[in-house]
Structure 1
Amino acid sequence: MTEKRPRRPPSSTASAIAAQAEGFLLAREHRHDADREAQALCSALTWLTTAQAEDLTRHYVSHRIALSRRMLSATVNRADELRGEYEARYQQLRRDLLRRHAAWACGMVVCAAGVGGALCMWAR
């Protein structure tokens, strides 16, 4: 009898699932923090009724989540901009390095040909 092993998902799928789970947990943490801050604010405002406190909590949480989304979106956009800038700079440096190596290689070939020609002339 052969023992059946569970199949592992491809690494790209596993990393996508891990990233999605991490994002979910991070979103839950942001919501929990916003709830906690709203409750602390409402407890400091002792004159609020229960309905007012719930309404204030709901508005505070929605505004805080919208702010977090905007900040995250701005961070992602800036990261994309930086990635583009760095990739362009890397490609430029790579082209420059290739040109330098080609120039050195051509110089070495010319020197080798010159030395070889001089040796042939001297040997005659």
Structure 2
Amino acid sequence: MRRGSHEAPYDAPPHALADEAEGYLLAHFHRDQARREAEDLCARMPWLTTAQAEELTGHYVRRRLDVTRQSLRSTVRRAEELRQEYENRYAALRHTLLRRHAACACAVLACAGGVSALTVLLTR
């Protein structure tokens, strides 16, 4: 290991730490946003006791985080589906391109062989 360089533990990709930090910050952002929304909701209901407001805030935050989690999971699932579709399409296009190049190479070789044979016949 070179001096001053940092490697991710457990042979993780170099961006794994950044992804984890981003996820942590994103989760805290959503939780703080949900808490602010719940507090705004409780502020519009002045008849709630402190305990009721805290209970409502806790319930709202939990429910909101569940909805956010489900939304993020469905987004990740869809991204994986799209990635697989694009990879399959790319492989099919690459295969088709390879077949076409092989066919063109065969045609060029056949033409070269034909021209060569014709040249030999004409020079005799």
User: Taking structure 1 as the reference length, what is the TM-score of the superposition?
Assistant: 0.91
> What does 1:63-82 correspond to in 2, within 5 Å?
63-82=63-82
Provide the identity percentage. Answer: 50
Q: CA offset at residue 15 of structure 1?
A: 1.3
> What does 1:1-124 correspond to in 2, within 5 Å?
5-9=3-7, 12-124=12-124
Instruction: Report the number of matched residues.
Output: 121
C-alpha distance 85-14 of structure 1, shift in aligned 2 (>3 A): closer
Query: Which string of whole-angstrom CA distances, capped at 9 and with x for unpartnered residues, describes residues 62-116 of structure 1?
Result: 0000001100111111111111111111111111000000000000000000111
> For 1:47, what is the secondary structure of its paired residue?
coil
For the aligned residue pairs, the C-alpha RMSD in angstroms reads 1.6
- Distance in 2 separating the partners of 1:101 and 1:57: 65
Q: CA offset at residue 49 of structure 1?
A: 1.1
The letter of the residue matching 1:7 is S
Runs of 4+ aligned structure 1 residues displaced above 6 Å come to none
Q: Which runs of 5+ in 2 are unaligned?
A: none
Q: Which runs of 5+ in 1 are unaligned?
A: none
